[in-house]
Amino acid sequence: MTIELASVEVTAPLDLNRRRVSPKTLSLRVQASMLDGLAVVLLAPLLLGQEIVHALGWGLVWALTTRITAPKILPGAERLRATVSGVFKAFMAMSMATWLLGALITLPQAQLVAQTILGLVAALVFRVVGYIFSSRPRNPLRVVVVEAAHDTGAIPEWTHRLSGGLMEAAAVCRADGLSGAIASAAPDAVLVVPGPDLAGREIQRLAWTSESFGLPLLVSTRMQDVTPQRTSSMRLGSMTLLYVDEALRARLARVAKYMWEWLAAAAAVAVLLPVFAVVAVLIKLDSPGPVFFRQVRVGRGGEQFRIWKFRTMVVDAESLLRTLEHRPGHVLFKLRTDPRVTRVGRVLRKYSLDELPQLFNIVLGQMSLVGPRPGLPSEVAMYDRDSHRRLAVAPGLTGLWQVSGRSDLSWEDTVRLDLDYVDNWTLLRDFGIVVRTVKAVVRGSGAY
């Protein structure tokens, strides 16, 4: 059955009210539900001698409340967040049922809390294990890209690059060719890239077409590096808007960041004092000159401060810089084989041990443990408008640039990663960067 809707041809089954679900999506939904239910079914009988009937019933509640509606599309963190949300809903539902039907349901509150906590852990473990086994090899999301008439065909490459390789264009079409593209490409979803001639009612018609094939519709905002936590949809009249929250709004979280980083830095200084002493002796034995190297850097709000590092170069390194620079006008200057670096300095740089004295800068409140790369005044003078955004927060001892390639990164990639951090900062992300930093330092790659 074929229906003509303006310029959009919709090929639909006879029953337009029945939405089809692709076999792959249905399979993943079933897996997610079964894993959540199985987690609690296995766990519940161990709690206070619960009967298997109650265990099965509780597992069913979990399976219904924590299932993921679109597991193929949600990123890993979003899947886990959906699981936690489902657990909370299950807890609230069971608490309400216990209160309303007290005579029929005898479930002590302490037992319910214990089941919820242990069940959450079990469900998360099962969800992660299920995700690993159901998505290896992790194939990118295959989409049919519907682009506006004025686009020049660069959308597929743009989509693949900005999605980090998690999305690929199975086909590209205009609005009036969507049905044929879906039929021939068999995609996982439809991606719409709006434009002047592709908006409003036209997108709604595309949604109808996608729905008739049982496919989700994704609408690109063309925004980059903005996390879902900062965005929400809102409706004004007949308009659907995307609200983007302020990046630096969470003041309480930033106080927590300052406190834990200060305590961590102070504790690290106390623990690493013997290491400092050994490194100091090695530096003095290797080449003449001071143990520490101090240099002016630019911090939050453009304030300048002196950064502390272990000296890794010869004493007259600054005066030799002009003879080595071969890229005039380039903001970030790095040499892979810098003759100014000493033998001990090369080892210190490889494992980032030269950065350890910056713990003193953190204790003094001049730097953060995690943040953008601290820039030189000469570099900051060459910043463009986007790069100046890095100065909105305190620079860090480590950051996304440190765990994503270190010195191997281009200037453009360094700025992009720093802006991503500034705009999408969270405490949880900081903890993840610290863990990844340890791995990067142990490998010793990308530093020179």
67-110: pLDDT as tens digits: 443 344 445 555 566 666 666 666 666 666 656 655 445 556 66
Residue 355 has pLDDT above 70, yes or no: yes
Residue 160 has pLDDT above 90, yes or no: no
For residue 301, what is the DSSP state? G
Q: pLDDT tier at 121 (50, 70, 90 boundaries)?
A: low
Q: pLDDT tier at 277 (50, 70, 90 boundaries)?
A: very high
Q: Among 109, 128, 118, which residue's Cα sits nearest to residue 59?
A: 118
Q: pLDDT tier at 369 (50, 70, 90 boundaries)?
A: very high
Return d(Cα 370, Cα 395) in angstroms, integer.
7
Identify which has the larger pLDDT, 58 or 235: 235
Residue 307 has pLDDT above 60, yes or no: yes
- How high is the pLDDT of residue 182? 92
For the chain, give the longest Cα–Cα distance.
87
Return d(Cα 262, Cα 250) in angstroms, integer.
18
Give the CATH number of domain 2-18+138-244: 3.40.50
Q: Please state, as a whole number, how many other Cβ atoms lie within 10 Å of the Cβ of residue 263.
A: 11
pTM of the model: 0.58
Cβ(355)–Cβ(373) under 8 Å?
no
Spell out the residues 6+ positions from residue 207 whose beta carbon is closer than 8 angstroms to its own.
Answer: 217
Spell out the residues 6+ positions from residue 4 whose beta carbon is closer than 8 angstroms to its own.
Answer: 10
- How high is the pLDDT of residue 72? 43
Sketch the domain layout of the chain as residue ranges. 2-18+138-244, 23-134, 251-443
Instruction: For residues 336-350, give the mean pLDDT.
Output: 80
Q: Strand order in 141-147's β-sheet?
A: 167-173, 141-147, 189-193, 217-219
Q: Kindly list the distances between the CA atom of residue 252 and the CA atoms of 146, 280, 428, in Å, as whole numbers in the listed order.
A: 42, 39, 14
Residue 219 has pLDDT above 80, yes or no: yes
* Lowest-pLDDT range of 310-324, 385-399, 404-418: 310-324
Instruction: For residues 44-60, give the mean pLDDT.
Output: 48
Residue 256 has pLDDT above 50, yes or no: yes
| pLDDT averaged over every residue in the chain | 73
- How high is the pLDDT of residue 68? 40
Q: Is the peptide bond before 137 cis (omega within 30 degrees of 0)?
A: yes
Cβ(395)–Cβ(297) under 8 Å?
yes
Return d(Cα 385, Cα 296) in angstroms, integer.
22
Among 69-73, 98-102, 137-141, 338-342, top mean pLDDT goes to 338-342
Q: pLDDT tier at 327 (50, 70, 90 boundaries)?
A: very low
First vs last Cα of the chain: how many Å apart?
65
Q: Please state, as a whole number, how many other Cβ atoms lie within 10 Å of the Cβ of residue 332.
A: 17
Q: Which two tokens stand for residue 211?
A: 């729905």
- How high is the pLDDT of residue 136? 47
Residue 278 has pLDDT above 90, yes or no: yes
- How high is the pLDDT of residue 298? 95
Identify which has the larger pLDDT, 58 or 139: 139
Return d(Cα 398, Cα 172) in angstroms, integer.
41
Cβ(419)–Cβ(438) under 8 Å?
no
- The CA dihedral of 29, 32, 37, 40, to the nearest 10 degrees, is -160
- How high is the pLDDT of residue 158? 66
Residue 431 has pLDDT above 80, yes or no: yes
Q: Kindly list the distances between the CA atom of residue 257 and the CA atoms of 112, 172, 177, 318, in Å, as whole numbers in the listed order.
A: 33, 45, 51, 35
Q: Is residue 145 exposed (0-12), middle (13-18) or buried (19+ Cβ within 10 Å)?
A: buried
Return d(Cα 442, Cα 418) in angstroms, integer.
22
Cβ(259)–Cβ(354) under 8 Å?
no
What percentage of the chain carries pLDDT values higher than 70?
Answer: 57
* Lowest-pLDDT range of 9-13, 311-315, 416-420: 9-13
How many residues are given for the chain? 448
Spell out the residues 6+ positions from residue 178 whose beta carbon is closer than 8 angstroms to its own.
Answer: 8, 9, 144, 146, 190, 206, 209, 210
- How high is the pLDDT of residue 85? 65
